[in-house]
Structure 1
Amino acid sequence: MRHGAAVEAREGIPDPYRYLSADGRQSCREVGRLLREAEVGFGAALSSPLTRAIQTAELIADAIDYLGVIESHAGLLPGAQPQVVAADILRRADAEAVAVFGHEPTISALAAYLIGQPGFAPFRTAQVCLLEDRKPVWKIRPDALQFQDLHIP
């Protein structure tokens, strides 16, 4: 998932400390509600250490009653190489579903890497995509609030 919409960087709020805007928080709550209704869950959560990603992870975790730890991972920072965090995700994926919260372009580069493709469509803010067995299954865009099937025939 890409983090929700955040306030703009400005004096007193440098980029790493940008937090979710009111609209960003609301989008995350709505996406979380949809995930809960669909009984989507996860057994592990990894997030970029930046404020807006952690806040997104917390809102989604709360919505689906995830009680585990949200782990901070530098491999999800903007501009990080996907191989670093992918190794951690794949190591866990056999045992549990792993939720990942990050930024563009890192999150789409990670998705591309995990499915073995040269690219992946950029994530909009608060967009969720399910990858399963190295294939995209569905996505939720916060503006539509519905699942969009991504199965490749």
Structure 2
Amino acid sequence: MRIYLVRHSDSVDRVPSLPDAARYLNTRGRMSFREMALRFRDAGGLPTRILTSPFVRAVQTAEILSEAIRYDGEVVLDPRLSPGFDIAMMKAVLEDYPGEREIALVGHEPDLGVILSLLLSLPQRYAMRKGAIAALDLQIPGDPLRAGLAWLLTVDRRIEDPAMLVT
């Protein structure tokens, strides 16, 4: 199974009058993620399921991804992908979708970076940039604690060697 860890794009700043869950993508975030989503499509990203945190900025990121790849399914809001998402929750999410070939999980930092680091057995935590997408191949079906890096897209580069994540 291939999973895509997708960090939401740039959002408006925190302000006391706006709850964190209501923060939305800013103009730069929408524009840059449209470009990223096209790069994702060109890299062969074709998830059979897109799941997202219910936070507005994550939902908007998932919707942009869905449009760019002409996804014909429904973007599923999953509260487990809210901040606090961890490897145990990821395993539970994946168990809910047996037989899926490719699943995109749209969420937040530091959660996605921690999961990426655990799956790749990195010696230190990798911090995913806003709008980044990591393609990971689970090595053993049903064991989401080990994965291989297919690629990681950031705004300015594509990484295919996990060693590049720790430099």
TM over 0.5, shorter chain: yes
Among 24, 40, 44, the alignment partner of 1:39 is 44
1:30 maps onto 2:43 in alignment: no
Q: For residues 1-150 of structure 1, what are the structure 2 equivalents within 5 Å?
A: 1-89=6-94, 92=97, 94-115=99-120, 120-133=125-138, 134-142=147-155, 144=156, 146-150=157-161
In the alignment, the residues of structure 2 paired with residue 11 and residue 87 of structure 1 have an alpha-carbon distance, to the nearest angstrom, of 34
> How far did residue 12 of structure 1 move?
3.2
Shift of 1:43: 0.2
AA of the residue aligned to 2:36: V
SS at match of 1:92: coil
Which structure features the higher share of strand residues? 2
- What is the DSSP-based 3-state SS (H/G/I as helix, E as strand, rest coil) of the residue aligned with 1:122? coil
- Taking structure 2 as the reference length, what is the TM-score of the superposition? 0.80
Contact 1:108-1:123 at 8 Å conserved across structures: yes
- Unaligned segments of structure 2, at least 5 residues: 1-5, 139-146
**TM-score normalised by structure 1 residue count:** 0.86
Taking structure 1 as reference, are residues 123 and 93 closer, same or farther at Cα in structure 2, changes over 3 Å only?
farther
Aligned mates of 2:25, 2:14 — CA distance in 1 = 11
* 1:123 Cα deviation after fit: 0.4
The structural deviation recorded for 1:120 is: 4.0
Q: CA deviation at 1:98?
A: 0.3
Task: Tell me: higher relative CO, structure 1 or 2? Use CA pairs within 8 A at least 6 residues apart.
Answer: 2
Contact 1:108 1:122 (C-alpha < 8 Å) held by counterparts? yes
Contact kept? 1:136, 1:150, Cα under 8 Å: yes
| SS of 2:117 mapped into structure 1 | helix
